[in-house]
Structure 1
């Protein structure tokens, strides 16, 4: 079967990044890549901070953070007054969990597509409070309607205190029907936290249109912000209940300042984040999204073909808009977290290719991403060399 043609490269896009050209960076979804212009903007801010730390931290910094927040929240389609900047999506989840006041016997409901660190956070908070964690299994090939019904059947009104669902899942690149899930949970009086770590920059969906009680997303992945930039969006009825993980001098200012201000934190990433959005818009939002999704689809097909995976067995759980794709690895490979990490490191070392390898539901999965700095030949080279490496065990 003919492999679909890759998209036309975006002229000059590769030159916007300082990535090592000897490595194929096919895993943008893990840590992103910061454009050079954004790096320089952040460095100027760091120079300003180091030139006079006292002035930087005490003269208008809270207002500068609020200005950056308003810019980022507007891009996300969120209420700036209900948005707090945090270090990453996992930190935002932790803020919500410890603000709920969970009690013994109550439960936090998740799915088996959730991010590992979020699962650890849920586990820790349940151990601390006496609440319990319960996980709903969701088949990779489930339709949106089936996912909604699985969630509907899994909710326990009066006991389920929080439902956590991903907008785009990390291990399986699955696009969940977040708005429909929120609607079902609201009918049963269950608050929902949407983990949208991969959504900002990749998807055009508005946060407000999802309607979740809590929504958290990283801007340092697909929105070109410096690392350590994420947004926690909280619905109005919950804002006064949200408490920071660490109390600071802005504690009495209420949400969001009490969450954002952490004394001597390096805030330059947040202040430089709007430059990332400027870079994204300069390239063209729609053009970048279409390019990245099409390139990821090309990479999935060419590598899948090389591994002998029939096109019908290549999952497309995210749909055509998601710039991350999965390829099932041969049975017996990378079936545990440790084995997956070891295989990823071996691919990086021997093939000079950065990819994501995950163990999910007893199977090893290779995840490939598409980004404007990638080219079709990078996936072609991986397709040529990967089967030999995997055959070596």
Structure 2
């Protein structure tokens, strides 16, 4: 299997970040990396707070949040009146689970690609209500039609009160036809939440056209916002029912103000998020997406070749713009979450490479991200050294 030619670097992109030059950071998908300009914008906001905290929180903060929300919603083509800024996708999922009414005979349906914290939140909510959290298996490599068919067969009209589906799965880097899945669920009046944690900044998305009841995505992964920035979009029929997880002074204003107003929360990540979007646009968003997708594909090919993974066994995303790819690890490695975490740390310690290792379906998956600060030679070096490390690790 030939790795092919990697994409040309985007000139000067590496200098936009303050990452440790002694580490190959191939894991943008977990926590992102904030450009220096965005860091400085956030620090200016923090400095503003400390010059007069009362003035910052009491005079005009609400208007600034509204302005930011509209800016972000416009970027994602979501209805700004039905959107709210939240800390992250997991927070958005908790708000949704808190809103949907569950009783003892009800269930929440998830897929086996669901993010761990979201799945845990669903199980906890179901335990408290006496309901059931059920999982439908969706094989990697399935076509969109097969995925829709499996979800359709798993729905239980009258019992399924919420379907949670990823737009891009964290562990498997697999994309799902969320528009079609939402349509199928709503044929039976089953609300749908789309976990789009990795979508903003990676994919060109039109949230309103998906038709989901709830959609939530992080801006701090691929859209260069400071950590703690996400957008929750809620369909009109649910907005009056949305309740914050913590009641604060904007409670009587209703959604989205009641969700966004959280007392002395650090709002600087949200207010600096438009600077992240400005950075993305200045670089050329189409160029960034094309570079990252091509580099992720290159990294996947070169590391798969080093591990002797057959071309037919290499998962490929349905969306060509995806900036994350996975490589199956040798059988018996990282088959459980603790084993995956231990291997990830071992790779970081021994090779100075930050990557993601996930256990899914009894198999370890090495997940590679690509961002504009990465270079092809980082994947080449990793591919040269990884086989021996894994060989020694198994002994």
TM surpasses 0.5 = yes
Unaligned ranges ≥5, structure 2: none
Please tell me whether residue 96 in structure 1 is matched to residue 96 in structure 2.
Answer: yes
Aligned-pair distance for 1:317? 3.3
* Counterpart position of 1:348: 348
Aligned-pair distance for 1:11? 0.4
Q: Which is worse superposed, 99-108 or 118-127? A: 99-108
Q: Do 1:214 and 1:232's aligned partners in 2 also have CA atoms closer than 8 Å? A: yes
Aligned-pair distance for 1:2? 2.1
Secondary structure at the aligned position of 1:241 is classed as coil
Aligned-pair distance for 1:318? 4.2
Alignment length (residue pairs): 393
Please tell me whether residue 177 in structure 1 is matched to residue 177 in structure 2.
Answer: yes
| TM norm structure 1 | 0.99
Unaligned ranges ≥5, structure 1: none
Q: Do 1:73 and 1:79's aligned partners in 2 also have CA atoms closer than 8 Å? A: yes
Deviations 1:301-345 (A, max 9, x none): 000100111222111134322110010000000001100000000
* Alpha-carbon separation, structure 1, partners of 2:318 and 2:30: 17
Please tell me whether residue 63 in structure 1 is matched to residue 27 in structure 2.
Answer: no
Q: Give the root-mean-square deviation of aligned CA atoms.
A: 0.7
* Counterpart position of 1:20: 20
* Counterpart position of 2:305: 305
* Alpha-carbon separation, structure 2, partners of 1:279 and 1:342: 35
* Alpha-carbon separation, structure 2, partners of 1:372 and 1:192: 33
| TM norm structure 2 | 0.99
Secondary structure at the aligned position of 2:10 is classed as coil
* Counterpart position of 1:124: 124
Q: Do 1:173 and 1:318's aligned partners in 2 also have CA atoms closer than 8 Å? A: no
Structure 1 runs (4+) deviating above 2 angstroms are none
Q: Do 1:140 and 1:317's aligned partners in 2 also have CA atoms closer than 8 Å? A: no
* Counterpart position of 2:155: 155
Show the 5 A alignment for 1:233-248: 233-248=233-248
Show the 5 A alignment for 1:227-306: 227-306=227-306
Secondary structure at the aligned position of 2:186 is classed as helix
* Alpha-carbon separation, structure 1, partners of 2:206 and 2:383: 36
* Counterpart position of 2:319: 319
Secondary structure at the aligned position of 2:240 is classed as helix
Secondary structure at the aligned position of 1:185 is classed as helix
* Counterpart position of 1:368: 368
Q: Do 2:2 and 2:301's aligned partners in 1 also have CA atoms closer than 8 Å? A: no
Deviations 1:192-214 (A, max 9, x none): 00000000000002101111000
Deviations 1:91-129 (A, max 9, x none): 000001011121111110000001000011001101111
Q: Do 1:200 and 1:218's aligned partners in 2 also have CA atoms closer than 8 Å? A: yes
Secondary structure at the aligned position of 1:212 is classed as coil
Aligned-pair distance for 1:75? 0.2
Q: Do 1:304 and 1:327's aligned partners in 2 also have CA atoms closer than 8 Å? A: yes
Deviations 1:272-294 (A, max 9, x none): 00000000000111110010000
Q: Do 1:168 and 1:318's aligned partners in 2 also have CA atoms closer than 8 Å? A: no
* Alpha-carbon separation, structure 2, partners of 1:222 and 1:98: 27
Deviations 1:32-83 (A, max 9, x none): 0000000000000000001111111000101111110000000010010000
Show the 5 A alignment for 1:219-234: 219-234=219-234
